[in-house]
Amino acid sequence: MGVLNSISSYIATDIRMAAPILLAGLGLLLVNWSGLLYIGAEGTMLISAFAAVAGSFYLGSVWAGLLFGMIAGALFGLIFAFLTVTLRANQTVVGVALNVLGASLSATLNRVIFGVETTIAKIDTFETMAIPGLSKIPVIGPAFFNHMPIVYLAFLMVPLISFFLFRTQQGLNLRSVGENPRVSDTLGINVYRTRYTASILGNMIIGIGGAFLSTGLLNFFTEDMVSGRGYIALAAVIFGKYKPAGVMLAAMIFMAGNVVSNILQVSGAAIPYTFLTMIPYVLTIVALVVFASRAVAPNALGKPYKRG
């Protein structure tokens, strides 16, 4: 029983850790399918992680915090769309700029609002929500059905976004804009509006991932706390071949590396701690090297569109 219980808890950890990456990956998916190449997910997650803590602190509810996080994400999405769609700035450069902006703005606001003291402001955070009945199943219950609400939301969004992209008119229109905006234009689709919407909604979902980091996995904000998850999400999208289920699989695999590193640390293996924490990142790089060339990105990804 002991082994089964540990496995169950490892799976639970993997799922919990994968949730923010999955959310960021799904958000990126929407942005990418509209033909926008966004590498600023790290920045969006940071600003949202901070906004969520601030919201929860001032309004006393973690849900208000989540709303703040989503609004912050949406604002980043709006800035990105304005610069790259309307002004047709280089999407990679703007993405880098938003990463820097997210990191520095969240750090600055954090110091302004919470000061530089070491004491942590007490805030409302997400709590686990056991699913009645299902969570009582031995081994499976604790692994899958005893999580925080955002975790359920993240995994529920996989089929939802998949359905949206591949089974609805709006999803088809969105993908056509990402594949060839001129075709969409001749068929009466508003390319600019589609890209704005995708950027704002996508960044909102990325923002949920950021908010979950600071109000779900942890209960405070620290500078650079996203620590590369935004980039891992980027890799998960490519590894997952621009499909929601693929992104989910990728997020789970990358974070399983995290679980392995935890196990090794606890078991007292004679490997320095710093090497163990590298595992998920190394896994990401290896996955990218092996699979990146086979991924089929939307055809117009990264290319600005000008009418007429």
Partner 1 sequence: MSKILEMINITKCFPGVMANDNVTLAVEAGEVHSLLGENGAGKSTLMNVLCGLYRPTFGSIRLDGEEVKFSSARDAMARGIGMVHQHFMLIPTMTVLDNCLIGAKDAGKFVLDRKTTAEKLTELIEKYDMKVDLNAKVGSLSVGQRQRVEIIKVLYRGARILILDEPTAVLTPQETLELFEMIRSLTEHNFTVLFISHKLNEVKEISDKVTVLRQGCVTGTYKTDDCSVEDLARLMVGREIDLSVKRAEREKGEILLDVKNLSLKNAEDQKRLLEDICFDVREGEILGVAGVDGNGQSELVECLTGMQVASSGEIVYKGQNLRKMKTREIMSNGISHIPQDRQKTGLIMPMTLVENFALQDYYREEFGKSVYLNWAAVTEHSKKLIKDFSIKTPSELELAQNLSGGNQQKVIIAREISRHPELLIAMHPTRGLDVGAIEYIHQQLVEQRNKGIGILLVSTELEEIMKLSDRIIVMYEGKIMGTVKPSDITIEEMGLMMGGQALESIRAKKAV
Which letter, b or e, does each residue of 156-171 get, where b requires 16 or more Cβ atoms within 10 Å of its Cβ? ebbeebbebbeeeeeb
* 110 vs 194, beta carbon nearer partner 1: 194
Site string for partner 1, 249-288 (x = CB under 8 A): ----------------------------------------
173 binds partner 1 (CB under 8 A): yes
219 binds partner 1 (CB under 8 A): no
Rg (CA), the chain: 20
Q: 279, 257 in Cβ contact below 8 A?
A: yes
Q: Applying CB under 8 A, which of residues 112, 167, 274, 306 lies at the interface with partner 1? A: 167
Q: Applying CB under 8 A, which of residues 59, 109, 189, 264 lies at the interface with partner 1? A: 189
Q: Which amino acid makes up residue 135?
A: S
Q: What is the dihedral of CA 70, 160, 218, 51, to 10 degrees?
A: 0
Q: Applying CB under 8 A, which of residues 186, 267, 270, 274 lies at the interface with partner 1? A: 186
* SS3 of residue 147 by DSSP: strand
Q: Applying CB under 8 A, which of residues 5, 6, 86, 299 lies at the interface with partner 1? A: 299
Q: Applying CB under 8 A, which of residues 180, 197, 227, 277 lies at the interface with partner 1? A: 180
- How many residues in the shown chain lie near partner 1 by CB under 8 A? 22
Residue with tokens 């117009």: 300
124 binds partner 1 (CB under 8 A): no
> What is the closest distance, in whole angstroms, from the C-beta atom of residue 296 to partner 1 in the complex?
7
170 binds partner 1 (CB under 8 A): yes
Q: Which amino acid makes up residue 153?
A: L
176 binds partner 1 (CB under 8 A): yes
**Apex CA 255: angle with CA 38 and CA 93, to 5°?**
15
Residue with tokens 């989540």: 66
> What is the closest distance, in whole angstroms, from the C-beta atom of residue 199 to partner 1 in the complex?
20
**Apex CA 250: angle with CA 139 and CA 279, to 5°?**
85
Q: What does the block give as tokens for 281? A: 């990142």
* 168 vs 265, beta carbon nearer partner 1: 168
The residues that touch partner 1, with contacts defined as CB under 8 A, are 167-173, 175-176, 179-180, 182-189, 296, 299, 308
